[in-house]
A and B are shown apart, each in its own frame.
Chain A
Amino acid sequence: MESINLTTIKKELTVEASQETAFKVFTQQMDLWWPRTHHVGDCPMRNVVLEPRKGGRWYSNHENDSEFTLGYVQTYDPFDLFVLIWQINGNQQYDPELVTEVEVQFIAEGPKTTRVKLEHKNLHRLDDSKAIESMDEGWEYVMAVYKTYTEQ
């Protein structure tokens, strides 16, 4: 049966490289594999920077010398596990409150074969609008305004 999980994206691939090489290229050479067409804001991207350690910053530099934070490193566990926190919301804006995990596992299947499993989790949190909370809160607001007016 067809299964579409809306709140998670899963990708899996096998690379012909050691676990160590796979982990290092992913975490230390992100700028070399990051798709140039994808960036925050209108200005073309110069490079993407990831500080390869727990708590490390993750940001992009742009041609007009601006800088955009993308998130940070949550887990840096060479050469098995790497977790990035992605903080760009559905409107392509950085949101410091937003936490969506990009978990990347590196599984050695041979000396020169590594299975890479990527999972981008909790995508339902990408909501950017504080104004449109749940319908219930919306109605609460309307009723509060209504009450204020009627009691004047």
Chain B
Amino acid sequence: MSASAKAFNALGDPTRRVIFEKLRDRPLAVVDIADGLPVSRPAVSQHLKVLKEAKLISLKIAGNKNIYEVNREGILAMRNYLDQFWGEALDNFKKLVELTEKDNKQQ
């Protein structure tokens, strides 16, 4: 499975999307991530593992705490393909539509 497919797959789960949204605001320890979530701590750990394997988040050790944070590289890699595709497509489209408009005027 490609990196982007992995990332899309990881975000297919609603709980993981909530966790990911939390981490987008700021890096958090596991205890803070679990806070307010209607799932058990082991379940949270499983979700974190999936997100980490999809390279959407990364782990850093601060003192005796495990802190999770958003992995910018993973996100950008995932969106890169389609974002680039539509960018190129619309650049081409703009050139063509403006040429077509000019031709229409001359007729």
CB <8 Å contact, B4 and A25: no
Q: Which residue of A lies closest to B103 (CB)?
A: A21
Residues of A within 8 A of B93 (CB): 15, 25-26, 33, 116
- Within 118-137 of A, Cβ neighbours of B (below 8 Å) are at 118, 120, 123-129, 132, 134-135
Contact size range, A: 35 or more
| B27 smallest CB distance to A (angstroms) | 15
CB <8 Å contact, B5 and A21: no
B107 within 8 A of A: no
With A33-B93, A132-B9 already in contact, 17 other A-B pairs whose C-beta atoms are closer than 8 Å:
A4-B75, A4-B79, A6-B75, A9-B86, A18-B101, A21-B97, A21-B104, A26-B97, A34-B92, A35-B85, A90-B8, A116-B93, A124-B11, A124-B12, A127-B8, A128-B5, A135-B13
A38 within 8 A of B: yes
Q: Which of A9, A38, A126 contacts B5 (CB 8 A)?
A: A126
A-facing mask of B16-37, CB < 8 A → 1, else 0? 0100100010000000000000
Q: Which residue of B lies closest to A14 (CB)?
A: B94
Main secondary structure of the interface of B (DSSP, over half): helix
Residues of A within 8 A of B82 (CB): 9, 120, 123
| A38 smallest CB distance to B (angstroms) | 5
Residues of A within 8 A of B64 (CB): none
A-facing mask of B59-94, CB < 8 A → 1, else 0? 000000000000000010011001101111110111
CB <8 Å contact, B89 and A34: yes
CB <8 Å contact, B75 and A32: no
CB <8 Å contact, B104 and A91: no
Q: Which residue of B lies closest to A22 (CB)?
A: B97
